[in-house]
Amino acid sequence: MESVISIRNLNHYFGNGNLKKQVLFDINLDINPGEIVIMTGPSGSGKTTLLSLIGALRSVQEGSLNILNREMNRANEEQMVQTRRFIGYIFQAHNLLPFMTARQNVQMSIELHEDINPEAARIKSEAILAEVGLEERINYYPESLSGGQKQRVAIARALVSHPKLVLADEPTAALDKKTGRDVVNLMQRLAKEQGCTILLVTHDNRILDIADRIVEMEDGHLVS
Ligand SMILES: Nc1ncnc2c1ncn2[C@@H]1O[C@H](COP(=O)(O)OP(=O)(O)OP(=O)(O)O)[C@@H](O)[C@H]1O
């Protein structure tokens, strides 16, 4: 089975000269298709840095990072942009556009990913919003939605184009216990239905049970 993510001897540094500081040390990790992997670890241990490298949002400095059979070390901007098309991102600050309704936020993402006419994209947006339980809120703006509802829109937006890989950074951080649980159950269900792989960074011990595997970061080292 080919890995979705395959990382070998990855190092990463911030700063230059005297201020240069290593934040990732000799990371090795393989994640298989359809796996749900949770990454935990203390604040400042390097989780977000690693997630942004895996998401092709940051350039690789040292080592090998293979995402969906594409080597990211020495990839140019165009190749990184291409890789991002196969990835769905769910971040804590869900980054919904405030001047667009829930449906328009999802539809814009579809139109960025696929060659599709606006009517088909609208129907698809409404269908996925119904799937995440927001059929009554399709035409609401983010400011009129609760934290959990906004996070559901973000999930709908990330999953609507059936990405092969979903990266989530603290998706339940701003949510109460029940809402957080609902949100991860929803991610798990949609991911299993679509056969996509999920890598989820969290401090939230309450959701560890959705993982097939848990990996831990400690001072820039991956300890399993
Ligand atoms: N742009 C940057 N420039 C310099 N140092 C940075 C930068 N981003 C992160 N760091 C440092 O790199 C280390 C790892 O940070 P990172 O955000 O990856 O940790 P984290 O495990 O995600 O933490 P948290 O759980 O608090 O989000 C920290 O020491 C942080 O201060």
pLDDT tens digits for range 135-164:
999 999 999 999 888 988 998 898 888 899
pLDDT, tens digit, 9 for 90 and up, residues 34-77: 999 999 999 999 999 999 999 999 999 999 999 999 999 999 99
Is 198 a domain residue? Answer: no
Report how far ligand 1's centroid is from the alpha carbon of 22 (Å): 11
Q: Which residues line ligand 1 (CB under 6 A)?
A: 14-15, 23, 41, 43-49
Tokens of 40: 């935990």
Domain count for the chain: 1
Report how far ligand 1's centroid is from the alpha carbon of 48 (Å): 7
Interface predicted TM-score (ipTM): 0.94
Is 35 a domain residue? Answer: no
DSSP summary character for residue 93: S
Closest-CA residue, ligand 1 atom 1, reads 14
Pick left, alpha or beta for residue 100 (phi over 0 → left; psi -120 to 50 → alpha; otherwise beta).
Answer: beta
Is 144 a domain residue? Answer: yes
Is 9 a domain residue? Answer: no
Closest-CA residue, ligand 1 atom 26, reads 43
> What gap in Å lies between CA 126 and CA 103, rounded to an integer?
6
Is 6 a domain residue? Answer: no
Question: What pTM did the predictor assign?
Answer: 0.89
DSSP string, 116-167: --HHHHHHHHHHHHHHTT-GGGTT--GGGS-HHHHHHHHHHHHHTT--SEEE
> What gap in Å lies between CA 7 and CA 173, rounded to an integer?
27
Residue span of the structural domain in which 107 resides: 95-162
Closest-CA residue, ligand 1 atom 29, reads 44
Contact 221, 29 (CB under 8 A): no
Is 86 a domain residue? Answer: no
Is 208 a domain residue? Answer: no
